[in-house]
Structures are given as structure tokens and as C-alpha cells.
Amino acid sequence: MKKKICIALIGALTAAAFAGCSGGGSSQRDKGAPVEVIFPEEGSGWDLEANALMKKEEINPAAYTFLDWAISDEAMDLYRVNYPIVTVENTGTYEGYDSNPLDQLIDNDFSWAAENRENILNEWMEKYDSKSEAES
């Protein structure tokens, strides 16, 4: 029996919202695990990740070197190993996916989400907190 793994696309645009999703699910399937990677019919949520340099009097030159590397094509190719979507083009194909994962992304309204944060968190806790592991 195959276990279905739901993909939640998140984003640098990044993926893998929880263990076993996205690239992890595809790689496990490719190794013979009884899993099937699926996308939710209603679409997948996402967010952006970013790198930044804090403005301060003294900045270590290595910070500039790191940030230059972090947004390089080389780094994007490395990110793509674990995340099917990155925010630059020309980093290859979406291996392991039957279709373009970009087509699966929902329209996020971050302003609305920020304004409704408390309601969203309360509803989430009401629906799903009982399924969480107890704190130790």
C-alpha cells in the first residue's frame, strides 16, 4: 500500500513544509519507498525566505562574501536539491514532479494574513492543536 505524501510549497520560494514532503518525498519514492507525492487540489501555500545584512558600523567582510555566494547560481543549484522552487531562473528542471510546481501555488495575500494573524492562529489551534505532541 502506498502512503500519500502531501506537498506544501513554501518558498526561497522553498518547499518541504514538513518531513517527508517535496524533494524528500520524491527521493524516497525514487529509492523504492511506498509513497506517492501529491499536490492538494486547493493549491499549496508558500512564503519567501531572504538573506540580509544588518546595517552597523563594522561589518565583517566575510558577511559580504557569504551573501554574494548565497544568491549565486551555484547556491541556487544547491538549494534546489532540497527545494523544488527557487526565486531565480536557469537553475534546471523540476525533477521528480509530474508538472510545474509553480502552477500549484496559491495566491497569498500577506497583508490580509498579517491583519488576521490572531484569528488564523486561533482557528489553527482549535482545529489542529489536539493533534500535536505533548510538550515534554
Residue 9: closest CA among 97, 132, 109, 133? 97
Name the band, by pLDDT with cuts 50, 70 and 90, for residue 116.
very high
Residue 41 CA, chain-centre distance (Å), reads 18
> Is 22 domain-assigned?
yes
Taking residues 39-63, report their average pLDDT. Answer: 86
Number of domains in the chain: 1
**What pLDDT sits at residue 72?**
87
Range of the domain at 77: 3-51+58-131
> Is 29 domain-assigned?
yes
**What pLDDT sits at residue 95?**
66
> Is 62 domain-assigned?
yes
> Is 102 domain-assigned?
yes
> Is 136 domain-assigned?
no
Phi then psi for residue 19, to 5 deg, are -55, 135
Instruction: Name, in order, each residue with C-beta under 8 angstroms of 16's C-beta and a sequence gap of 6 or more.
Output: 8, 10, 22, 23, 24, 82, 83
Mean pLDDT of the chain: 75
